[in-house]
Amino acid sequence: MDNINVLKVEQSDKRWNELINYSKNCSWMAGRHLANVMESNFFTEWESVFAAILDNKIIGFCTLMKTDYYPENKYSPWISSIFVDEAFRGRGICGKMIETVIAYAKEQGFSKVFIPSNMTGFYEKYGFEKIDKLKNYSGEIDNIFAREI
């Protein structure tokens, strides 16, 4: 999907409030959490939020964060809160977002990134390897994936 742009969205960006509204209203519960994080401007240092844009419309988002939803937070940085609108799934948008975030993480001096997920067989196609399992704050066990960059 060459006409998909993935942009780092900063608080001063005109898309900031648009992304907050999109996140609040998306079908995934984690979207509301992202909107709260953005509204409180919780991002520090290099932490960032990214939006997938098609025809000037947000169709997905993800973040790069120091910590994630785990009491035992032994990995960093996290590519997290990855969401693509259901109508646009299966078109490589998730991969494009991941590669954009990885390029940004590399610019920030990181040599490895991590993704938490309860899925298996998905992130491996983007070069990630399952390295661990962690219990999240809800008490559920998530797979932890890593990729050298």
Q: What is the pLDDT along the chain (149 residues), one digit of tens a residue?
A: 568 999 999 999 999 999 999 999 999 988 999 999 999 988 889 999 999 999 999 999 999 999 988 888 899 999 999 999 999 999 999 999 999 999 999 999 999 999 999 888 999 999 999 999 999 999 999 999 999 99
Alpha-carbon distance of 43 to 130, in angstroms, equals: 27
Residue type, 98: I
Retrieve residue 87's tokens: 């109508």
Give the SS3 label for residue 25: helix
Task: Give yes or no for a contact between 145 and 114, defined as CB atoms under 8 angstroms apart.
Answer: yes
Give the SS3 label for residue 149: coil
Strands 78-84 and 57-65: antiparallel
| CATH number of the domain where residue 86 is located | 3.40.630.30
Number of domains in the chain: 1
Instruction: Identify the domain containing residue 98 by its residue range.
Output: 4-148
Note the pTM of the prediction, 2 decimals: 0.94
pLDDT in tens, 82-110: 999 999 999 999 999 999 999 999 999 99
CA atoms within 13 A on the CB side of 13: 16
Cis peptide before 71 (omega within 30 of 0): no
